[in-house]
Structure 1
Amino acid sequence: MKGIIFSVLQEYAGNRHGDEGREAFRRATGLTTPLATSDYPDEKVAAAVEALAELSGKKPEEVLADFGRYFVAESPLVQKTYAAYFRNAKDAKDFLMKMDSVHVQATKALPGAAPPRFEYEDRGSELVVVYRSERKLCPLLKGLIEGIGLRYNGRPLSWREEACMLRGAKACRLAVRF
């Protein structure tokens, strides 16, 4: 997985849990200063999420969702690194509809990148986000969607799950309301 995830996850651990969170991240991943441009094993994200779940008393899925909200709505590193992407979207729906191209652009110069892929079905009052990823980080996507709402609307976007890879579907399908 790309280093930006690790850098922001370390930032998140410190933001939510202070020094104890940063230490839990370090112990779980073996990383003191992850580099945003490096590549790290996916298992290290899972280990860090497990450690933060244990520290917070939450389920790993809850930690992933909270991290997703943080990533888009709160992270200073993300705001700085991806400022142009946020500026180039006129609203939450526009940003969501650009997520596939954003992931492709952000990883095209990174060898071995396997970004998630997104497709969309615009139903007028709802946008169905179809998510495919070998990592199956569905809870992270749900948090990202909520965070996009916080960033653009000042409130989380609501979504309804139509299908999920974690329950055997070939892709996650989330119907997002604006």
Structure 2
Amino acid sequence: MKGVVFDILRDMVEEGYGLEGWNAILEKSGSNGMYISTESYSDDELMGLVAAASEVTGIDVNDLVFLFGEYMVQEFHARFPIFFDRSKGLIEFLLSVDRIVHVEVRKLYPDASLPRFNYQKEGSHSLTMIYRSERKLCRLAEGLISGSAKFFKQSYIMTHDPCMHHGADECHLKIQLTGDANGI
């Protein structure tokens, strides 16, 4: 996992729990907290921080991973606004993730280990993202989708079946826009 992800996690924790909260998480996880954005760190390091954050905050690990995904969207927009500004809405943006966003991320971080997405578009208001990753961070993907929907001010419902955590080879995240597809 790239150091930038650790930086964003630190920012989220400090925003909600201050420097004291981040230091408590570092102490509990045994991490020194020194991360360089362009360097790679083990997935175990990140999951150790998430587990420690769960203990410190009292937020369930799965819920925390989802909230982290939502938070990452604001950070990604602040760092890479062009990816968002090119899209007219949630579905168009989600379709760009594997085809454009991940291509550009690989230019910045050639050794990045990114999930893979395939898509099944079912009209202008519905999309199934087929998620594959050895990390099985589909809950993070759900949070990223939720954060993106908030950014584009669009409401949606999602089904997540099948799922790799239940023995499938891939996760199917079906997003259906609800209400006014142009905004909440």
TM-score for both structures, normalised by structure 2:
0.87
Unaligned runs of 5+ in 1: none
Q: CA distance change for structure 1 residues 24 and 107 in 2, over 3 Å: closer, same or farther? A: farther
TM-superposition CA deviations, 1:50-90 (whole Å, max 9, x none) = 01111121221100000011111x33xx2332111111122
| Equivalence for 1:8 | 8
Kindly report which structure 2 residues correspond to 1:1-178, keeping only aligned pairs within 5 A, or say none: 1-27=1-27, 28=29, 30-72=31-73, 74-75=74-75, 78-101=76-99, 102-124=101-123, 125-153=125-153, 157-178=156-177
Structure 1 SS opposite 2:33: coil
Structure of greater Rg: 2
Q: CA distance change for structure 1 residues 9 and 100 in 2, over 3 Å: closer, same or farther? A: same
CA drift at 1:120: 0.7
Does the 8 Å contact 2:77/2:83 carry over to 1?
A: no
Does the 8 Å contact 1:148/1:157 carry over to 2?
A: no
CA distance in 1 between counterparts of 2:51 and 2:170 reads 24
CA distance in 2 between counterparts of 1:31 and 1:149 reads 35
Structure 2 SS opposite 1:38: coil
The one-letter code matched in structure 1 to 2:175 is: V
Unaligned runs of 5+ in 2: 178-184
TM-superposition CA deviations, 1:75-109 (whole Å, max 9, x none) = 3xx23321111111221111100111312320234
Structure 2 SS opposite 1:98: helix
TM-superposition CA deviations, 1:4-57 (whole Å, max 9, x none) = 211101111111221233113433362434222111111111011101111121
CA distance in 2 between counterparts of 1:82 and 1:59 reads 29
CA distance in 2 between counterparts of 1:172 and 1:163 reads 5
The one-letter code matched in structure 2 to 1:149 is: A
CA distance in 2 between counterparts of 1:69 and 1:36 reads 20
TM-superposition CA deviations, 1:89-140 (whole Å, max 9, x none) = 2211111001113123202343432211111101123200110011110110
TM-score for both structures, normalised by structure 1:
0.89
The one-letter code matched in structure 2 to 1:110 is: Y
Q: CA distance change for structure 1 residues 25 and 111 in 2, over 3 Å: closer, same or farther? A: farther
CA drift at 1:170: 0.5
Does the 8 Å contact 1:29/1:45 carry over to 2?
A: no
Does the 8 Å contact 1:147/1:157 carry over to 2?
A: no
